[in-house]
């Protein structure tokens, strides 16, 4: 994911804003966006309306990088957006809950580390959501 984050940091504010909304829409996380970025619903509405773009100097930028990186990783690991959505909404014993519930909390980093471990083949996804080869 370090390479993904490096690629993402090269994005312009407009492109990262667009990528963020695409990722949350595909993962059904749009309603969670204020808590994921730690900004108000009004600020999200302003971004959605195109009145402004993400600001690299604000905390929202790092949150957006994490979400877009999560999207890339989870789809890579599971092979499809549908499997990614299913995994996010399914209780995970290793994480101690549903990944979607952990994303807007200080435990979000555990979800990212878990996915990186799966991607590196250090852990395996549960059979119900594992990518078919």
- Band the pLDDT of 124: cuts 50, 70, 90: low
Convert the pLDDT of each residue in 20-79 to its tens digit: 999 999 999 999 999 999 999 999 999 999 999 999 999 999 999 999 999 999 999 899
Distance CA 61, CA 26 (A): 19
Task: Phi first, then psi: give them for residue 97, nearest 5 degrees.
Answer: 160, -175
Higher confidence at residue 8 or residue 41? 41
Residues sharing a CB contact under 8 Å with residue 9, sequence separation 6 or more, in sequence order = 65
Distance CA 59, CA 64 (A): 9
Give residue for tokens 């435990």.
107
- Band the pLDDT of 2: cuts 50, 70, 90: very low
**Residues of the chain above pLDDT 90, percent:** 69
Task: Phi first, then psi: give them for residue 23, nearest 5 degrees.
Answer: -65, -50
Angle, helices 59-78 vs 2-9, to 10°: value is 130
List, in sequence order, the alpha helices (H) in the chain.
2-9, 13-26, 33-37, 41-48, 59-78, 81-89, 99-102, 108-119
């Amino acid at each position: 994911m370090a390479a993904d984050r490096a690629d993402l940091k090269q994005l312009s504010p407009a492109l990262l804003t667009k990528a963020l909304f695409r990722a949350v829409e595909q993962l059904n996380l749009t309603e969670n966006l204020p808590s994921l970025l730690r900004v108000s619903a009004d600020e999200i509405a302003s971004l959605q309306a195109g009145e402004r773009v993400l600001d690299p100097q604000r905390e929202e930028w790092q949150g957006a990088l994490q979400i877009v990186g999560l999207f890339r990783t989870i789809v890579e690991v599971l092979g499809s957006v549908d499997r990614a959505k299913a995994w996010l909404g399914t209780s995970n014993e290793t994480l101690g809950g549903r990944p979607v519930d952990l994303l807007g909390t200080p435990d979000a980093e555990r979800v990212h580390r878990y996915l990186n471990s799966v991607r590196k083949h250090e852990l395996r996804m549960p059979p119900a959501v594992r990518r078919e080869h």
